[in-house]
Amino acid sequence: MKPITRRKFVEDSIKATAAASLFAPFALNASPSEMAAPYLFTQVALPYAFNALEPNIDAMTMEIHYTKHHAAYIKNVNEEIAAGKFFYENEKDFFTNASKLSAKAKNNGGGAWNHNFFWQIMKPSGGGAPSGKISDAINGAFGSFDKFKEELTKAALGRFGSGWAWLVTHEGKLKIGSTANQDNPMMDSSEFKGTPLLGIDVWEHAYYLKYQNKRNEYVASWWNTVNWDEVAKKLS
C-alpha cells in the first residue's frame, strides 16, 4: 500500500467535506431511511369520466387538463425533488416551506396539489345549496348561501390573470380569497392563508375550449359541479 501524502490527505478531506455538505440539510431533520425517500407527489385517479361533468365542463377540457396540465405538474415537481434539492416529509411540510423552494418546485408542487384537490371537490350532478354543518358554517360566516356564492364568484372573477379562488378555514373562521398562479393558502409565502375547503381553478386552460374568454360563464356553470359532501368532510 502506498503511503498517503499530505497533499493527497488534504484533497480527500475536501472531497469528503463537500459530499457531506450536500446531504447536510437532509440529515438535520431526517433519519437515513427518510433521506432515501423524500416525499413525492402522486396524481389522484380522476373520480369520474372525462365527460361526467358535462355540460358544465366539457370532456376535451377535462382530458387535457388532467392528462397534460396536471400530469406535467406532478412530473416536474417530482423531478425537482428527486434532484436532491428538497427533503420534506409530507405535503404540509412542503408548503410550510414554500418560501425556501425553487420556482420549479413551488409552482409545480402547487399545481400538483391544487388539481388533486380540485378533482375531488367536484362531481357529476353536483351543485345546489349545501345542507348540514357546511351550510351552518357558511350561513354563520357570510349571512346566507347566496351571499357566500356571490363573494366566492367575485374572488374568482376578480383574480387578474391565472390563479385560484378559495374558501378556507383559518383560525376557526371561514374566509374567501384568491391566489395567483399555482399558489395555495397553505404556502407560507401566500398572503392569503388557511386550510382549503373549496377552490375554483380560473386558469384559462380550465375553461377556454368551451367558454373562450367568458370566465363569468365558466364560473356560473362550475357551481353546478360542487361536491358538497366532500367539502363537508374537509371541514371536519
Domains, in order of start, for the chain: 59-236 (3.55.40.20)
Q: What percent of the chain has pLDDT over 70?
A: 85
Site of grid cell 365542463: 57
pLDDT of amino acid 220: 98
For the chain, give the mean pLDDT.
88
The grid coordinates listed for 170 are 383559518
Q: State yes or no: pLDDT of 18 exceeds 90.
A: no
In angstroms, the CA 80 to CA 88 distance is 12
185 vs 170: CA distance, rounded Å:
10
- Percent of the chain's residues with pLDDT above 90: 81
Per residue in 103-126, pLDDT (tens digit) is: 999 999 999 999 999 999 999 999
Q: Which residue's C-alpha cell is 371536519?
A: 236
Do 178 and 155 touch, CB atoms closer than 8 A? Answer: yes
Question: Partners of 169 in the beta sheet?
Answer: 174, 195
Cell triple for 48: 369520474
Helix, strand, coil shares, percent, the chain, to 5: 55, 10, 35
CA–CA dist 111, 75 (Å, integer): 11
Query: What is the chain's Cα-based Rg?
Result: 22
CA-CA-CA-CA torsion sign (15, 17, 22, 26): positive
Q: pTM value?
A: 0.83
146-189, pLDDT tens digit by residue?
A: 999 999 999 999 999 999 999 999 999 999 999 999 999 999 99
pLDDT digits (tens, 9 = 90+) for 140-156: 999 999 999 999 999 99
Q: Which of 196, 162, 184 is nearest to 95 (CA)?
A: 184
pLDDT tens track for 33-68: 345 578 999 999 999 999 999 999 999 999 999 999
